Amino acid sequence: MLKRCSCGGDMNLVLRTVIFAKKVNINNVPVYNCSMCGRNDVFPGVKEDVGKLVGQLGSKPSPRSIPFDQVHEWAGVLSQAMNRSDSLQAAVIARAAEERVNQLLDLWLIASSLEDETWKMELSNRLSQLSGQYIS
């Protein structure tokens, strides 16, 4: 998963801890990192949701750690892919994403048969995090 930096260097997709207001550690945030100039860009597919999360924390958050890969499906898929190979390869990510979608769909079927509307809603929300965001 490579992206070109404005300095001309290659940017690699990595999972990092983002520290907010020097107090809150947001772990496993997908970030493009440039090996030449050190620039970091949050992965576009999760940028909005990182923003929302930070917005919810407010201006005086209490110190804590948030596992972003458990909050956001994309970060979850990327951390799965990272566990399977040393670097984030498109094919590995695609496979991890497909597996996660299938898993969520299976759960959705169970939720549906139980007529559990709250669970169904949560699962659709997770599925929508994965759809159409896999674009750099």
The alpha carbons of the chain give a radius of gyration, in whole angstroms, of 16
Kindly state the smallest distance separating residue 20's Cβ from Zn ion, in Å. Answer: 23
Could you say whether residue 121 binds Zn ion (CB under 5 A)?
no
To which residue do tokens 């048969």 refer?
113
Kindly state the smallest distance separating residue 10's Cβ from Zn ion, in Å. Answer: 8
3-state secondary structure of 51: helix
Residues that contact Zn ion, how many (by CB under 5 A): 7
Q: Which two tokens stand for residue 23?
A: 């107090």
Can you say whether residue 43 is alpha, beta or left, with left for phi > 0 and alpha for psi between -120 and 50 degrees? beta
Report phi then psi at 58, rounded to 5.
Answer: 80, -175
Report phi then psi at 85, rounded to 5.
Answer: -140, 160
**Residues 9-28, interacting with Zn ion (CB under 5 A):** 9
Residues 23-62, one symbol each (x = binds Zn ion by CB under 5 A, - = not), give -----------x-xx-x-----------------------
* Binder of Zn ion out of 7, 21, 105, 109 (CB under 5 A): 7
Residues engaged in binding Zn ion (CB under 5 A): 5, 7, 9, 34, 36-37, 39
